Structure 1
């Protein structure tokens, strides 16, 4: 349930109203937008009489919200959320960012990759130090040394660093070593202990859609993080598993406008994992940009044929630079004022 507050309400009246609601056992979420203030009421709202609320001087109107995700819901928070990723990089609310780098941190070649993507216009550096792999015999990442190298390289270029965390026990260590954005991979999209632990931090969380998750389930995963107090969630559409076998996953372009309609959270796209093949990465990146994504996450490697993981879907620095020029043109066309 949401209560839309009258423009004439004073701060004291708003505080009194919130206290009155919370005194009856409900949680509240106050969103102050440019045009209106909304108080989200979270709990079993069947116990609240909406006519009683509307009779209060401070309340303009009351609406019930049927979706189970409350904090991630645009009805509770009409304004777009803008996430501060560190180093002056903002994502969401018109701030478009590109995250690029290798699937796995492999060694000192990270310096050349990072410089290349930075020069091409990427604003954030990605790299896996601990890799969740389908096979236990595949390369699992450099571990702690990989995190240290990733942060050293990224921060030397004044780029926020993005890396995937898999275990709730590792969250504090990632933050202590300087990781700016904690990524949750598709296999952990419904790892609820991990999501709750991330929610107890204030760090930006890049949450990838589970390979079998509906959009509502995707938003409920974000709700797990936000319900613990962390509002800094970035959603990522990375393709879902369907009966199609010609690509690694099926990229769901629908999810981008649907999420923007349902939620105030920013959503980016990962065309690398969506397709699994270098030849398809750039077209899907262009499609996601045109669909209104708030950013992209792309895998780039200086020698994809010899990459230790996911080389088949990595762009070379030259290919990435070409993609960035075209992405800029698409954004200009989509955002052009035709009047």
Structure 2
């Protein structure tokens, strides 16, 4: 499946000459002095293309700082006038869109909580009709590619052709080193169905702590994302929101300077020839893997018939535990990650259960 988005290339609306493309600024506009001072430091780095600041902040619980409100738009305007940096902010209602555009904000983005609600996205889309402004759409809070795609389509159908996506990670019940699990595969799936869509990474919200940002940023570059939106504060230790994940402008410079930038393609014919040979080897192995899986499923069908005839349940937990234990050890010996092995086995096991269930519940030929 390919998305039919009517968009223009990133280079035609964000040709900044800087690589990678970076949107940076404080999580929240707190005071005029804080925002303008941060903007000057970011502009001085020479790394930042657009200044960001949260004006309206949707918080998980009431009573937390929910943004300075509309007055912050005037501060953004001043920062733009003094530094020359275009500005960006998040919008979550039609009123936000109207006020931001009236204040001359150059780029808008739809936040993760908004993306998760089609009613909210449609309200924003309706407010954008007839407007020529770049809009980025963050992935929804939960790992739902359809919601992300749906939000992009709604904004695009409102006439927004300068459209991009922001990968900021997804909520997970499992506690890991990340604030939001990257789930890179979902971002890759979006790139696959919409190869022309610019995707930038939000390492601040994925990481939750500034120490992990360089690692995630490098991974995003390696996956051919076009840039970043990173939270940067003049003094993160006193930030009113998300203090742990914000970096100083100087630290931001170090992060960008230490990235190993890579190209999507090479013009070296020797490289391309070698790559073609290796890809042929991969293709042959993929064919073998699929063939082996198909052979396995034929045996699964025989097992399903045998269980049916002997009135035995499909799921046998002890057997599944045995598979996980033995195959994980074998895979580890072959230098495969345990997490990958378990996910692969779960996929195969799930299809095996489906096939056996289909066999057990099929009507006899005389009844069909």
TM-score with structure 2 setting the length: 0.65
> 1:70 aligns to what?
4
Pair 1:232 & 2:162 matched:
yes
> 2:134 aligns to what?
204
Deviation >6 Å, runs of 4+:
333-336
Whether the aligned pair in 1 keeps the contact of 2:24 and 2:51 (CA below 8 Å) is: yes
Deviation at 1:167, TM superposition (A): 1.1
SS of 2:133's partner is: coil
Deviation at 1:82, TM superposition (A): 4.1
| Structure whose alpha-carbon radius of gyration is higher | 2
Matched ranges for 1:26-45 at <5 A: none
Cα displacement string for residues 112-147 of structure 1 (whole angstroms, at most 9, x for unaligned residues): 321222222111100011111112111112212211
Deviation at 1:261, TM superposition (A): 2.2
Deviation at 1:221, TM superposition (A): 0.8
Whole-angstrom CA distance in 1 between matches of 2:186 and 2:80:
30
2:251 to 293, 297, 319: 319
> 2:189 aligns to what?
258
Whether the aligned pair in 2 keeps the contact of 1:206 and 1:235 (CA below 8 Å) is: yes
> 1:28 aligns to what?
none
1:271 to 190, 203, 220: 203
Whole-angstrom CA distance in 1 between matches of 2:147 and 2:10:
20
* CA distance 1:255–1:122, change in 2 (3 Å): farther
Deviation at 1:337, TM superposition (A): 5.1
Whole-angstrom CA distance in 2 between matches of 1:140 and 1:83:
35
Deviation at 1:89, TM superposition (A): 3.7
TM-score with structure 1 setting the length: 0.71
> 1:4 aligns to what?
none
2:62 to 130, 136, 155: 136
2:101 to 175, 193, 205: 175
Quick check: which one's strand share is greater? 1
> 1:100 aligns to what?
24
Whether the aligned pair in 1 keeps the contact of 2:55 and 2:90 (CA below 8 Å) is: yes
Pair 1:84 & 2:18 matched:
no
Whole-angstrom CA distance in 2 between matches of 1:180 and 1:312:
28
> 2:49 aligns to what?
123
Deviation at 1:215, TM superposition (A): 2.4
Cα displacement string for residues 150-194 of structure 1 (whole angstroms, at most 9, x for unaligned residues): 121034222110101111123122111010011111010132222
Deviation at 1:213, TM superposition (A): 4.2
Whether the aligned pair in 2 keeps the contact of 1:253 and 1:287 (CA below 8 Å) is: no
Q: Which runs of 5+ in 1 are unaligned?
A: 1-65
Matched ranges for 1:232-311 at <5 A: 232-246=162-176, 247-263=178-194, 264-311=196-243
Q: Which runs of 5+ in 2 are unaligned?
A: 272-368
Cα displacement string for residues 214-255 of structure 1 (whole angstroms, at most 9, x for unaligned residues): 223212210001112211211000001122223211013234
State the number of aligned residues: 261
